[in-house]
């Protein structure tokens, strides 16, 4: 009997890089095409967990572990979008400037036997008060493209963050402590 492989239900290069830190190379990577619209009154925590579950289910593959994650940037009950244009990135940074926000990173693991395990990482992050010039320079970098909340902590935005409490890898896109715990609990062989 062969050992089940791991399928990553995400085309995110950041998630692959983070898994590599645990010594894991997914057997395959699947982009899941699901509706990522938040429910009308859906709370950020519930939304992140639902997205991770739905991505794992959409990639279901008999005989493999399916790992999926989703990261949400929230200010209070407000879920910030993934910035796809400069205006959205600028608005996100203006909102985040000088204030604390939460980054919720959910992980779901669907085992070959159909058992679903989940974990959630919640990290508090505070940007320094950003000047209009700092916001313009960051927006001009393009680093924000496709990133929740309009920033990538693993890039130059890290120099604008005054304080963080929680999982740095969770803010990047996959909380490694929680991911490792899920894999270990499911019996996935870790190096």
Residue 35 falls in the annotated catalytic set = no
Of 73, 29, 67, residue with least CA distance to 48: 73
**C-alpha span between 116 and 121 (Å, rounded):** 17
For residue 129, which of 158, 174, 99 has the smallest C-alpha distance?
Answer: 99
**Which residue out of 33, 70, 85, 113 is catalytically annotated?**
70
Ramachandran angles phi, psi of 178, nearest 5°:
-65, -40
The residue ranges of DSSP E strands in the chain, in sequence order, are 5-8, 28-29, 64-75, 78-79, 100-110, 116-127, 161-165
Q: What is the DSSP letter of 90?
A: H
Q: Could you tell me if 6 and 64 are in contact, meaning their C-beta atoms sit under 8 angstroms apart?
A: yes
For 128-152, the DSSP string reads PPPPHHHHHHHHHH-TTTT-BTT--
79 in Cβ contact with 38 (< 8 Å): yes
Which residues are annotated as catalytic?
70
């Amino acid at each position: 009997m062969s050992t089940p492989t791991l399928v990553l239900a995400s085309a995110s290069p950041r998630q692959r890089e983070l898994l590599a830190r645990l010594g894991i190379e997914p057997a395959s990577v699947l982009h899941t095409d699901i509706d990522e619209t938040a429910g009308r009154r859906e709370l950020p925590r519930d939304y992140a967990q639902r997205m991770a579950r739905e991505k794992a289910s959409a990639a279901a593959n008999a005989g493999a572990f399916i790992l999926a994650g989703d990261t949400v940037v929230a200010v209070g009950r407000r879920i910030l979008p993934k910035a796809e244009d400069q205006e959205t990135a600028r608005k996100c940074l203006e909102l985040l400037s000088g204030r604390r926000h939460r980054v919720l990173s959910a992980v779901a693991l669907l085992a070959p036997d159909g058992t679903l395990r989940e974990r959630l990482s919640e990290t508090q992050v505070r940007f320094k008060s950003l000047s209009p010039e700092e916001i313009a320079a960051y927006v001009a970098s393009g680093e924000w493209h496709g990133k929740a909340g309009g920033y990538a902590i693993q890039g130059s935005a890290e120099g604008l963050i005054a304080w963080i409490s929680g999982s740095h890898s969770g803010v990047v896109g996959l909380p490694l402590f929680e991911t490792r715990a899920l894999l270990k609990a499911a019996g996935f062989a870790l190096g």
